[in-house]
Amino acid sequence: MNIERDKIQTQDETGEPAEIDQVEERVEAEMELIEARAKERVAQGLQDKKLEEKAKQQEIAAEEKLKGENPK
């Protein structure tokens, strides 16, 4: 089996992000979502409506970030 070097395309040439970068972004978004949900629960326990609203906004932003990714 011969490989023709002039027909090989790299990720840089195709503009495709590396798999490791995609995983890292997803993990960060999932951590943001977990953090937001934890803050929301604490705010509910403290009955702090401002903190609860901030946490809800953070949760929505994290969910949008997760939905914006291309699942394989």
List, in order, residues 6 or more apart from 18 with CB less than 8 Å away: 11
**In which region does residue 70 sit, left (phi positive, over 0), alpha (psi from -120 to 50) or beta (all else)?**
beta
pLDDT band at 43 (very low <50, low <70, confident <90, very high): very high
In 1-72, the DSSP E strands lie at: none
pLDDT in tens, 51-60: 999 999 999 9
Averaged pLDDT for residues 26-52: 92
Task: Scan for tokens 């609203």, then name that residue.
Answer: 53
Tokens found for residue 31? 């951590």
pLDDT at 5: 79
pLDDT at 1: 67
Question: Are 69 and 26 a contacting pair, CB within 8 Å?
Answer: yes
pTM, rounded to two decimals: 0.62
